[in-house]
Amino acid sequence: MPDKKIFKLHAEVCKALAHALRIEVIDLLQGGESCFTDILEETGGLKSNLSQHLSIMVKCGILKVRKDSRCNYYSLSSSKVAKACSLMREVLIENLKKEQKLHKELLK
């Protein structure tokens, strides 16, 4: 049995992707770094909430922060995160298409 610890760690990192707001943030940051206030403007919602999610993502290591005196700039820690995320999006789209096809079949 190969050490199961790695699976747990791996899952921890993947949990960073498991929330709509966090996905939205990743999507946003594909375009480059962005500061807290700008992210909030895009996503909407409460500051405290966004702050919590961003800190989760930083802890998981999928985001980096750069702080200057006026604000905190967030960015993806690696383009691999964006890539993984968009692969999963493709999987989703493929599944939606399959479902749609199935519905059409049923209505024939």
Partner DNA sequence: CTTAGACATTCGAATATGCAAATATTTGAA
Partner DNA sequence: TTCAAATATTTGCATATTCGAATGTCTAAG
Residues lying near a second copy in the complex (CB under 8 A): 1, 4, 7-11, 13-15, 17-24, 27, 44, 61-62, 77-78, 80-81, 83-85, 87-92, 94-96, 98
Q: Shortest Cβ distance from residue 94 to a second copy (Å)? A: 6
Alpha helices in 1-108 (DSSP H): 5-15, 20-29, 36-43, 47-60, 79-107
Instruction: Report the interface residues with DNA, using CB under 7 A.
Output: 15, 18-19, 21, 35-37, 45-49, 51-56, 65, 69-72
Q: Shortest Cβ distance from residue 31 to DNA (Å)? A: 17
42: Cβ–Cβ under 8 A, 6 or more apart, which residues?
Answer: 24, 28, 34
Q: Shortest Cβ distance from residue 14 to a second copy (Å)? A: 4
Identity of the residue, 1 or 70, whose beta carbon is nearer to a second copy in the bound complex:
1
Asked if residue 74 lies in contact with residue 68, where contact means CB atoms within 8 angstroms, the answer is: no
Give the integer Cα–Cα distance in Å for 102 and 104.
5
